């Protein structure tokens, strides 16, 4: 009977629903366009995986992008492998089916690792008769993050760092996804309370800057010591970063008037360094006199 219940079926698309709290975004990007073109030409080659819903219809476990592409094409049905699964098994299957994607936002990976880690921990805590043989084996003497690390090729520490990102408020997480805040500083900021993170947004706007790694580490320490208040954040976000202090920017229009139009930026750079070297030597000679 189990094999019959897992046969591929053509399910009406109107009866397919997304997985609750699905962490992966389904975007109308170039990759989606390629999926649409492929399905238009060859059909849905790999069936989706879904489970029956108590209220009717089916919840998609794997195949959200194929479902969306089929909807864009106006298809009425889609091949689906219907399988009975409890919530935690469904979460683990859903995450595993998406982790091999070529591109993934930090927020997607963070939420996926967190969902899988929580599901695996719940499964490990149940009586043995409710676990599969595989889960019995993989939990012997290992933490869930170590298991996920082995399955994904990440280190256990890196898996935990991604999970920590789920503690960021949505505004900061979006800045991480948009590469306005780097990954390493973001991990340090995830240790701030939600109120401190909200105050940090104001401080960042005030200082027109985002925290460097050293600043994020200092903020984390202040938070742990109970001194991460608004004034400390405003002062920190108003600091000039070392990279800014070491950088000199000259407008290209100011330089162009000293060089032939045919000069490339590299040629201008080489001439400037040569002239500065000559100037430095002259200063040294003058000082020796």
Going by C-beta distance under 8 Å and a sequence separation of 6 or more, which residues neighbour residue 164?
Answer: 110, 187, 190, 191
* pLDDT tens profile 6-39: 788 999 999 999 998 888 888 888 889 999 999 9
Give yes or no for residue 285 having a pLDDT over 80.
Answer: no
Q: How far is CA 69 from CA 17, 29, 31, 47, 59, in A?
A: 14, 11, 10, 13, 17
Q: How far, in Å, CA of 131 to CA of 97, rounded?
A: 20
- Collapsed DSSP state (helix, strand, coil) of residue 266: helix
Is the CATH number 3.30.70.3420 carried by domain 1-85? Answer: no
Helix (H, G, I), strand (E, B) or coil at 82: strand
Q: Quick check: 4 pLDDT over 60? A: no
- Residue 134 predicted with pLDDT over 60: no
Q: Burial letters for 72-83: b for 16+ Cβ neighbours within 10 Å, e otherwise? A: eeebeebbbbbb
Give 47-101 pLDDT, tens digit per residue: 999 999 999 999 999 999 999 999 999 999 999 999 999 999 999 999 998 887 7
Choose between 179 and 240: higher pLDDT: 179
- Indicate the DSSP class of residue 128: G
Give pLDDT, residue 126.
Answer: 58
Query: Is residue 232 scored above 50 in pLDDT?
Result: yes
* DSSP SS3 for 112: helix
Residue found by looking up tokens 């006199």 in the block: 289
pLDDT computed for residue 137 by the predictor? 42
What's the rounded Cα separation, in Å, for the pair 85 and 222?
45
Sequence ranges of the chain with CATH classification 3.90.1530.10: 1-85
Statement: residue 195 has pLDDT above 90: yes
For the chain, give the mean pLDDT: 86
Q: Are 18 and 64 in contact (CB under 8 A)?
A: yes
């Amino acid at each position: 009977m189990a094999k019959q219940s897992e046969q591929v079926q053509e399910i009406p698309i109107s009866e397919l629903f997304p997985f609750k709290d699905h962490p992966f975004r389904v975007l109308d990007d170039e990759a989606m366009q390629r999926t649409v073109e492929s399905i238009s030409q060859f059909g849905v080659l790999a069936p989706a995986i879904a489970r029956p819903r108590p209220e009717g219809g089916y919840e998609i476990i794997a195949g959200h992008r194929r479902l969306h592409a089929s909807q864009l094409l106006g298809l009425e049905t889609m091949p689906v492998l219907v399988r009975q699964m409890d919530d935690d098994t469904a979460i683990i299957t859903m995450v595993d089916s998406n982790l091999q994607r070529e591109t993934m936002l930090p927020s997607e990976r963070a939420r996926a690792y967190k969902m899988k880690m929580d599901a695996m921990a719940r499964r490990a805590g149940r009586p043995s008769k409710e676990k599969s043989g595989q889960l019995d084996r993989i939990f012997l003497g290992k933490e869930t993050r170590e298991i996920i690390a082995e399955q994904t090729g990440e280190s256990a520490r890196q898996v935990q760092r991604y999970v920590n990102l789920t503690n960021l408020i949505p505004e900061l997480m979006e800045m991480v996804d948009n590469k306005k805040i780097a990954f390493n500083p973001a991990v340090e900021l995830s240790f701030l309370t939600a109120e401190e993170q909200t105050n940090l947004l104001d401080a960042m706007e005030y200082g027109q800057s985002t925290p460097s790694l050293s600043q994020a580490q200092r903020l984390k320490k202040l938070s742990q010591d109970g001194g991460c208040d608004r004034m400390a954040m405003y002062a920190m976000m108003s600091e000039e970063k070392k990279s800014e202090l070491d950088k000199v920017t000259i407008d290209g229009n100011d330089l162009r008037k000293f060089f032939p139009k045919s000069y490339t930026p590299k040629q201008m750079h080489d001439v400037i360094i040569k002239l500065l070297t000559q100037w430095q030597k002259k200063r040294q000679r003058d000082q020796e006199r």
